[in-house]
């Protein structure tokens, strides 16, 4: 048995589901949930994203068979920006992790992120006409992205310059270059594999501090660059969805 979340489901045959599951001690798994789509199935309402579960399975190979699933805790609904953000986290795990590769620290980071997004959704009344401010949602996403990059072996040096290892100066501007690190703006020209940001942003990321609006904006640009690199150019469906929604709002506004 293991703690787990369902990341994605696919219809399988007439009454079953194929699940992509993110588990604490086994990493990402593929499971067949036989009969889960039947109206009277005990699993029908449980095998959904963002519901914390305890699952048990049997079998070997790429697809195992779900034996049982039980709720680990109540899960109030997510909505609006919090819901889109949670689907974004799921897509990152689906595209950037490999099967049967456990990352207990990353599971804890995901669990914390979903719990935080749920709390924001509930406290702001999201889904009932109001939405969590970006200043509240963005730190949740940045903390998870940082942990994900660390778990993938993408070590980020945020407190020292690349090459010289001199301490980052808060007031100085840097280009953060993919696979190199932070270089003073006077030492490197603008390039496609880098973003320009303040030293304060790097130091705030190192401390996990997300109070400054400039840090929030620049950290988002940096994480987008690094994750795009890890994805080898793959497009994220959740980002496309957000752009389409923003375009629709602009057209109807």
pLDDT tens digits along 138-194: 999 999 999 999 998 887 899 999 989 999 999 999 999 999 999 999 877 778 889
Sheet holding 173-177, edge to edge: 181-184, 173-177, 194-198
Residue 128: pLDDT band (50, 70, 90) is very low
Average pLDDT over residues 214-220: 95
| CB contact at 8 A, 253 and 247 | no
The CATH class, in words, for 156-253 is mainly alpha
- Site of tokens 């048990």: 56
Higher pLDDT, 249 or 185: 185
Count of CB atoms within 10 A of residue 170's CB? Answer: 12
Query: Distance (Å, rounded) from C-alpha 10 to C-alpha 8?
Result: 7
- Site of tokens 């602009």: 250
Count of CB atoms within 10 A of residue 89's CB? Answer: 25
Kindly report the average pLDDT of the chain as a whole number: 89
Closest residue by Cα to residue 99 from 31, 152, 29, 149 = 29
| CATH no., domain 2-71 | 2.40.50.140
Closest residue by Cα to residue 9 from 57, 48, 62 = 48
pLDDT digits (tens, 9 = 90+) for 62-80: 899 999 999 998 888 898 8
pLDDT digits (tens, 9 = 90+) for 90-113: 999 999 999 999 999 999 999 999
Show Cβ contacts of residue 85 under 8 Å, excluding neighbours closer than 6 positions. Answer: 117, 137, 140, 141
Whole-number pLDDT of residue 104: 96
For 3, list phi and psi in degrees, rounded to 5.
-70, 145
Which H or E run contains 231?
A: none
| CB contact at 8 A, 199 and 168 | yes
Whole-number pLDDT of residue 252: 57
Domain spans, the chain: 2-71, 80-153, 156-253
Tokens of 191: 């390039």
- Site of tokens 């959904």: 48
pTM, whole model, 2 decimals?
0.90
Paired with 180 in beta bridges are none
| CB contact at 8 A, 230 and 98 | no
| CB contact at 8 A, 219 and 201 | yes
Count of CB atoms within 10 A of residue 146's CB? Answer: 21
């Amino acid at each position: 048995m293991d703690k787990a979340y369902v990341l994605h489901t696919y219809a399988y045959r007439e009454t079953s589901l194929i699940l992509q599951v993110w588990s604490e001690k086994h990493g990402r798994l593929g499971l067949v949930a036989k009969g889960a789509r039947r109206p009277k199935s005990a699993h029908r309402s449980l095998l959904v994203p963002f519901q914390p579960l305890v699952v048990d399975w049997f079998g070997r190979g790429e697809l195992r068979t779900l034996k049982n699933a039980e709720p680990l805790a109540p899960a109030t609904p997510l909505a609006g920006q919090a819901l889109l953000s949670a689907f974004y986290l799921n897509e990152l795990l689906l595209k950037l992790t490999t099967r049967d590769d456990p990352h207990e620290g990353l599971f804890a980071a995901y669990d914390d992120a979903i719990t935080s997004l749920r709390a924001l959704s509930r406290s702001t009344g999201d889904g009932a006409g109001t939405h969590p401010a970006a200043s509240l949602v963005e730190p949740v996403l940045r903390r998870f992205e940082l942990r994900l990059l660390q778990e993938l072996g993408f070590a980020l040096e945020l407190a020292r310059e690349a090459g010289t290892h001199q301490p980052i100066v808060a007031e100085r501007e840097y280009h953060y270059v993919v696979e190199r690190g932070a270089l003073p703006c006077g030492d490197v020209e603008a390039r496609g594999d880098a973003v320009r940001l303040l030293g304060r942003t790097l130091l705030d990321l190192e401390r996990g501090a997300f109070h400054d609006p400039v840090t929030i904006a620049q950290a988002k640009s940096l994480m987008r660059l690094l994750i795009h690199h890890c994805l080898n150019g793959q497009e994220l469906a959740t980002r496309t969805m957000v752009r389409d929604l923003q375009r629709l709002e602009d057209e109807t506004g």
